[in-house]
Amino acid sequence: MGMKRVAMVSPYFPPSTLAGVHRARLLAKHLNKFSWEPVVFCVDEHYHEQSLDLELEKLVPKTIRVIKSKAFRIQMTRLFGVGDIGLRGYRGMYQALEDFLGREKADLLFITLSPYYPSLMGPSLKRKFKLPFILDYQDPWVSKFGARQPIFTKAGLSHILAKWLEPKVLRWADHITSVSEGTNQEIRMRYPKLNKDIFSVLPIGGDPEDYEYLESHPFPLKIATLSDKELNFCYVGTLLPRAHRTLRALLKAIKIIREKNPTLYQKMKFHFIGTSNLPDGFKDFKVLPMAREEGVEERIREIPERVPYLEALKILSSSNVILMLGSDEKHYTASKLFPGLLSGRPILALYHEASSVCEIVKQTGGVHLIKFSDEVPAQDQVGNISKDLELLALHPEVVQPASLDAMKSVLASSIAGQFAKLFDSVVSRGPSQAAW
């Protein structure tokens, strides 16, 4: 069987440091093992407003074809209240795709979200070039968080626009993938005319070769140094708005340790790194104000800015214990889980029982999991969290590292193989008609 070609639309791609790059990065790296040639379409990094991660770019094989397009500069679009790279780069990416598809053959169009507005290219390019397209959700486009925003705010207006635009795209999609079943369920509830057979769940996955690169290119921690004289509990990644209850429960558990075991408390240090998810979000503190309220600020360290990817891996692998905090949104699946599992360090995770994280760690191990639910919220687990913090501080060996064999189905190469089978199936059927 000859190679087939997929045009992958991901406005952010390395050297962008934003979390959304890893779906396209990992897929593009491994798809050619399964008879699919990826061609990545992204916005040239010179038009990004965030700091860049040049080291991350070195993890992208030079054999991958990447077509970078122009965008309106942020200095100009900010005058109109527009910063979204999907809007600023829409015209450039569409032109690049149109030119490419007119000159060369592609079998499939794959658009990963977010940002969301590039999904609007799907129906137009499908009709013009007679090729199927897949829409891939890393995050919900229409969300409960957006629905709670005041109408006459930027976030509120974005939600209204999302509700109007999403069905215009989905009715033409040949397949819909997401990182969690919860996201798919919400989409099906909004649009019951969509065939349930066009949905699949495929997580981001993790790549052990990222850690192999880190080991062969050692460097000291630059932003988030850790002291070997302390027991370092590290949370690395964005703190989502609806994870604040989970955070509050953790801080209350730390407070119990302060009161019952002050000697241990003074040895423990809790690091929260990259909580704003913005490479330049130096002042967007989310944890310290709550820690101050609970009286445990002295043992908390927060660095809001997102750290470069390889430094994040270095922090994880240097931790005594990794912390992972889930959201009370049931669909939430943390992509950070996979690098954490691959680090070999024990993980203490607090997640909603309906999160796919719970099912994944049942398979992989490597995690001490505390579950909460709608009926038993995180605040009711404070006592258990406190006990388990003490347990892992004194006996981290109770959590055995996840083995690569146990993780096989969620490794990036396996995920790419599953996508390749899906691509084959979608292409064999050909472009579908609109759902309504």
What is the per-residue pLDDT for 434? 85
What is the per-residue pLDDT for 326? 87
Q: Please determine, for residue 354, whether its predicted confidence score (pLDDT) is greater than 70.
A: yes
**For the chain, which residues make up each domain, given as ranges?**
4-205+411-429, 208-407
| pLDDT band at residue 159 using 50, 70 and 90 as cut-offs | confident
| pLDDT band at residue 331 using 50, 70 and 90 as cut-offs | low
The H-or-E segment that residue 108 falls in is: strand 108-113
DSSP 429: H
Distance CA 232, CA 355 (A): 26
What is the per-residue pLDDT for 5? 97
Pick the CATH number of 4-205+411-429 from 3.30.9.10, 3.40.50.2000, 3.40.50.1820, 3.90.1150.10: 3.40.50.2000
Predicted TM-score (pTM) of this structure = 0.90
Architecture of domain 208-407: 3-Layer(aba) Sandwich (3.40)
Q: Please determine, for residue 329, whether its predicted confidence score (pLDDT) is greater than 90.
A: no
Q: What is the mean pLDDT of residues 206-222?
A: 88
Q: How far is CA 30 from CA 8, 10, 196, 414, in A?
A: 13, 16, 28, 9
Q: In the beta sheet, which residues pair with residue 300?
A: 270
- Same CATH topology for 4-205+411-429 and 208-407: the answer is yes
Q: What is the mean pLDDT of residues 110-130?
A: 95
Which tokens is 366 given?
Answer: 């490597």
Buried b (16+ CB within 10 A) or exposed e, 113-125: bbbbbbbbbbbeb
Angle at 30 between CA 307 and CA 199, to 5 degrees: 90
Reported in sequence order, the residue ranges of 252-299 that DSSP labels E, i.e. its strands, are: 268-273
The bridge status of strand 199-201 relative to strand 65-69 is unpaired
**287 CB contacts (<8 Å, ≥6 apart)?**
239, 247, 272, 275, 300, 302
Q: Which residue has the higher pLDDT, 149 or 204?
A: 204
